[in-house]
Structure 1
């Protein structure tokens, strides 16, 4: 298990990295977050991290400066730079970074980075998992009883605070399943579009640009609910629906 630190000054970007790393939580554990270079230094001095996901552009000292300092002080520490700009890439590899990720980061690109990290760490064996059968029904709660919701009736799934709701055409039901469990066991036409949403792609009414590179899926339920597509998943949605 690799212990990871995320160093990023913007909260949405930290959440996005957590979401992208969630499928690999049995190999990479996020045990710290820092919003600036001084915080990062304090955390690294306190805990033996294996990898740092390091934003290049931050107020004050830059991530590139910190990366160079870390490689000198902690040569065994693995660094993955994350940036919206590609012109720092050469400098990044001069400090022996494992990888350089360009925002928005796609799930496929993060998967490649994780494979590199496991390879250089000598831990590239796949985790042993017990195969779970695909779901036909999702047990939900309804007026104190269990309501089995057919997968074919699900429009989308949403996480709100600590509760996961399975949403149908005209109702929504809390379930004890996590989003991660549902993502693994729902059919292929269900997609984790955002850290808080799983959408049934067969129930999409419209696809609309939103803001900051994200998209919205308007669904076919009575309320015409809107499901967010994070920047890292926009490319995949466009490919699925053949959008140029």
Structure 2
């Protein structure tokens, strides 16, 4: 996922970029609203992290202009202006989520992932990974135009990894999001068994293991 950070606090912006990079995101930074808008409309981003109090053009105006011009990239307001009135104002002009400062970096990551998944599902029901095609509506997987038979959980697992493409996902998250539960025995067996089966059916090049981070589809 490619993230645009529009934040005038240079230290904070760089810290966010470094943390996102550590978590295998691509992240770009703009330090004012004017340059931020130019970047937002000139390049493709999966999520925009946006401060409100910006030089040049404030975040509320920037978000409103993007929506009026047809740019529907998910926007997460990250700001110290986090009263209930501020939140309502931000959401009403087109923001998708709102996180107050100070914030927890792991919560920020979770919200970015959620917005990224929502953006993918809103755009298309077809996901392409090389010559692999995943139709999330028909729940059909093909490679080189040949249908690959998957069980319900195998499909759910592949879809979740594909919708988080480029982001390593650990076993605990997969168990919670795909299976809806977590326990020690499942942690050690279920995910690994299903990943092994997917590799046999899809080929070993689709799902990679990122040591220390989890599984990833690139």
TM-score (norm 1): 0.47
CA positional deviation for 1:129? 7.0
Structure with max Cα Rg: 1
Q: 1:113 is matched with which residue?
A: 111
Q: How many residues align?
A: 131
Say if 2:2 is the partner of 1:3.
Answer: yes
* Deviant stretches of 4+, over 3 Å: 126-131
- CA 1:13–1:122: 2 relative to 1, 3 Å: same
Contact 1:20 1:110 (C-alpha < 8 Å) held by counterparts: no
Contact 1:7 1:36 (C-alpha < 8 Å) held by counterparts: yes
Report the 3-state secondary structure (helix = DSSP H, G, I; strand = E; otherwise coil) of the residue aligned with 1:6: strand
Instruction: Give the counterpart of 1:29 among 14, 21, 26.
Output: 26
Q: 1:122 is matched with which residue?
A: 120
Q: 1:74 is matched with which residue?
A: 70
CA positional deviation for 1:119? 2.5
- CA 1:45–1:75: 2 relative to 1, 3 Å: closer
Report the 3-state secondary structure (helix = DSSP H, G, I; strand = E; otherwise coil) of the residue aligned with 2:81: coil
- CA 1:119–1:11: 2 relative to 1, 3 Å: same
Instruction: Give the counterpart of 2:44 among 48, 64, 74.
Output: 48
Contact 2:5 2:29 (C-alpha < 8 Å) held by counterparts: yes
What is the distance in 2 between the residues matched to 1:108 and 1:94? 26
The structure with the largest helix share of the pair is: 2
CA positional deviation for 1:130? 9.8
CA deviation string 1:85-128 (max 9, x = no partner):
21321111113322111112203321330232133023743556
Query: After superposition, where does 1:133-212 map in structure 2 within 5 Å?
Result: 184=212
What is the alpha-carbon root mean square deviation over aligned residues?
Answer: 2.9
| Bigger relative contact order, structure 1 or 2 (CA pairs below 8 A, ≥6 apart) | 2
What is the distance in 1 between the residues matched to 2:48 and 2:29? 10
Contact 1:53 1:82 (C-alpha < 8 Å) held by counterparts: yes
Report the 3-state secondary structure (helix = DSSP H, G, I; strand = E; otherwise coil) of the residue aligned with 1:122: helix
Say if 2:57 is the partner of 1:58.
Answer: no
Contact 2:60 2:90 (C-alpha < 8 Å) held by counterparts: yes
- CA 1:129–1:41: 2 relative to 1, 3 Å: closer
CA deviation string 1:214-236 (max 9, x = no partner):
xxxxxxxxxxxxxxxxxxxxxxx
Structure 2 residue ranges without an equivalent (≥5): 122-159, 172-209, 214-218
- CA 1:14–1:47: 2 relative to 1, 3 Å: same
TM-score (norm 2): 0.52
Q: 1:97 is matched with which residue?
A: 95
What is the distance in 2 between the residues matched to 1:12 and 1:96? 27
Structure 1 residue ranges without an equivalent (≥5): 132-180, 186-244
CA positional deviation for 1:22? 3.6
- CA 1:117–1:130: 2 relative to 1, 3 Å: closer
The structure with the largest strand share of the pair is: 1
